[in-house]
Amino acid sequence: EAQVTQNPRYLITVTGKKLTVTCSQNMNHEYMSWYRQDPGLGLRQIYYSMNVEVTDKGDVPEGYKVSRKEKRNFPLILESPSPNQTSLYFCASSLYGNGYTFGSGTRLTVV
């Protein structure tokens, strides 16, 4: 089944403790992206990647890192999480930008 898989689904952590949210797609899509969803703000792009080893900042990149060493994986790294990064996170992938498949989401709480 074609899908984008995110892990974990739920995560509670403490301020400053590094964490990684994994994202993997099995559709050979060249484009991958991370979004965060906050009430009243819709989804905002954090980082995106056009292909392996090609990443760039989205609209809200502060406090986040990404890497794209393989086509299928696009992990989101929070080196020192803070409470304002408490949010619902979605990974998405796309072929040529004409259709996007989203993961099931990761609900992160930073206390």
Examine residue 46 and tell whether it contacts other proteins (CB under 8 A).
no
Task: Identify the residue among 11, 50, 52, 77 touching other proteins (CB under 8 A).
Answer: 50
Distance CA 50, CA 40 (A): 28
Examine residue 1 and tell whether it contacts other proteins (CB under 8 A).
no
Beta strand ranges found along the chain (DSSP E) = 4-7, 10-13, 19-25, 31-38, 42-51, 54-57, 65-66, 76-78, 87-94, 100-102, 106-110
Distance CA 105, CA 4 (A): 10
Examine residue 28 and tell whether it contacts other proteins (CB under 8 A).
no
Task: Identify the residue among 98, 108, 110, 111 touching other proteins (CB under 8 A).
Answer: 98
Task: Output the smallest distance, CB 44 to other proteins, in A.
Answer: 8
Strands 87-94 and 106-110: antiparallel
Distance CA 57, CA 45 (A): 8
Examine residue 45 and tell whether it contacts other proteins (CB under 8 A).
yes
Task: Output the smallest distance, CB 63 to other proteins, in A.
Answer: 19
Examine residue 43 and tell whether it contacts other proteins (CB under 8 A).
yes
Binding site for other proteins (CB under 8 A): 31, 33, 35, 40-45, 48, 50, 56, 58, 90, 92, 94, 96-105
